Amino acid sequence: MDAKEMAKKQAGEASFRFIENGMTIGLGSGSTVYWMIRKLGEHVCDGLNVAGIPSSRQTEAWAKEFGVPLTDFSQTQTLDLAIDGADEADQSWNLTKGGGGALVREKIIAAAAEQFVVIVDESKLVDQLGAFPLPVEVLPFGWEVTAERIANLGAKPVVRQNNGSLFTSDNGNYILDCDFGTIHEPAALHQQLKQLVGVVETGIFAGMADKLLVGHPDGVDIRDS
């Protein structure tokens, strides 16, 4: 395992300390979350009683593979905890998410959780967001028009592709990866984008994180907001 993967594993596994018996947990998406789900599965095998709501089909598959019981929002509308990764985290803990295309479900889950724990390897820490192009989920109908409106806000949107076809999210939508350069005011940019017809959600998670776990190859820093 390389150093970056070790750091992801450290952050993912360390998040287990926030999990208590009886909790309903929002399960984020991505390669850092993988380590959290794997660890959680081990404890479920040892008798831990939890239920998870997955934020993507991939996460659902991992939860089933590792034996983590699942539930859904028809059973509960609040979560004790959500744990998720990020593509960038700035010094105020604003996040860019959606590199894997799961941002809408991830944001619904994070917003429904009493506590939102973010797990990243150290490479995700930045002074300001923007080096990672901002994922914006848009409706397929008229996506070209929506992309033009986003370009008018100062971005270079590129529609995400997957093996030569347009990438489709778990919600059946497209993702525009939008290079805005350095994002000086993430919350304001999010609001501007949300006002555009055709925009479903943005990958800016501003002011949502309660804890930030930063993994290094040989340990983890746990930061409180």
User: What residues line the site for ligand R5P (CB under 6 A)?
Assistant: 28-32, 84-87, 97-103, 106
Number of alpha helices (DSSP H) and beta strands (DSSP E) in the chain: 6, 15
The tokens describing 151, both together, are 């370009």
* Backbone phi and psi for residue 63, each to the nearest 5 degrees, phi listed first: -60, -40
39 is in an annotated binding site: no
Q: Which is nearer to ligand R5P, 41 or 48 (CB)?
A: 41
Residue 103's DSSP bridge partners are none
Q: Which is nearer to ligand R5P, 11 or 150 (CB)?
A: 11
Residues in the chain: 225
84 is in an annotated binding site: yes
Active site residues: 106
187 Cβ partners below 8 Å, 6+ apart? 94, 204, 206, 207
CA–CA separation, 142 vs 198, rounded Å?
8
The tokens describing 217, both together, are 């190859």
CB of 99 to ligand R5P, least distance (A): 3
154 is in an annotated binding site: no
100 is in an annotated binding site: yes
- Residue tagged 């350095």 (tokens): 182
Q: Which is nearer to ligand R5P, 1 or 152 (CB)?
A: 1
Residue ranges of the binding site: 29-32, 84-87, 97-100, 124
Residue ranges of the binding site for substrate: 29-32, 84-87, 97-100, 124
